[in-house]
Structure 1
Amino acid sequence: MKRPYLIIGVCQRPHGTGGEILVKSLTDDDTRFFEGLTCYLLEDAEGKPLERLSLSGARPTDKGLLLSFSGIESRDRVRALSGRYLAVKRENALALESDDEFYYGDLIGLAVTDRKAGPLGRIFDILDAGSGEILIVRQEGDKDVLIPFLRSIILKTDADAGQMEVLLPDGLLELYRTNREA
């Protein structure tokens, strides 16, 4: 079952003293961040909303989006948002154009299993590397694994089941985790 909230961004850090926060967008259409948008603050990908927020301003920068929210005007209050996810109710998400598309926000939190090495952890973040996206897979007690988001590596994605199956190229896992056999 899909989560009722769709993650659209990750709060990073305060910007200035006027209540703005730098947000990493997890959507390919940044116009979806418009004044009056109702967002929900989540502690983690599986979490229930901590707070309902109303977007009062959005502007793009080279490092991400600078957002401001109604009623949040101090740097200390903005700092409390850092590291949390911004989400919208799934029924308010922009429609996908085809059946083989998915929302980046649905990838956050998926359990990743390599066909040879077994469980690797959960998708923590997605990096835009310019030439393509990189999945950051985190498992407590291990180093993060960076996995290129390529059809040749990603075998199956099932957001409803919370699973992703991959087949890592020889040697990739050993770059990050030397205590495992692949």
Structure 2
Amino acid sequence: MDPVAEVFKPADVEAKVLEYERYINDVLKRDLQKTLQQLDTIHMECIEYMNTKAVIDSVIENGIGSNLKTKYDLGCNFYVTAKIPDTSMVFVRIGLGIYLEYTLPEATEFIQGQIEKLESGAKELDEKIVKIRAFIKLTLEALRELQGISADPEKERREFVL
């Protein structure tokens, strides 16, 4: 006899199934979505810092000290031409809408630190995502077992002989 059937009555099984399904949909999937959004935000911020670092490195390598002409994205791929008279100092966003003026080497060092910090945060979120997905699988497995559905997909398949 089925060990689950010995412990739970059919009405109890249905109640438990609904409870697990609600937990998966209302808690686990919501947590997974929120964590994936946080990860996307970190990746976008990291890309911004990497692009800024690439521009600063280009200015340093090419020795551009004054009269730099560039295009600046105002948003939605709408660009304006900008002329920078002095490239020895740059403003870098340090957080909370605050910008700080740095020399090019200082800016590169700060940006590299921010990139490392963001990558560390992304790694932690990746681990959290893996744990949430594993817990979803575990809960689905408990549901399968509770409902008495076979875990072996080979048993479910039909074989056709020609």
The interval holding the TM-score normalised by the smaller chain is: under 0.3
Give the helix-richer structure, 1 or 2: 2
**Larger-Rg structure:** 2
Question: Normalised by the size of structure 1, how large is the TM-score?
Answer: 0.24
Question: Normalised by the size of structure 2, how large is the TM-score?
Answer: 0.26
Give the strand-richer structure, 1 or 2: 1
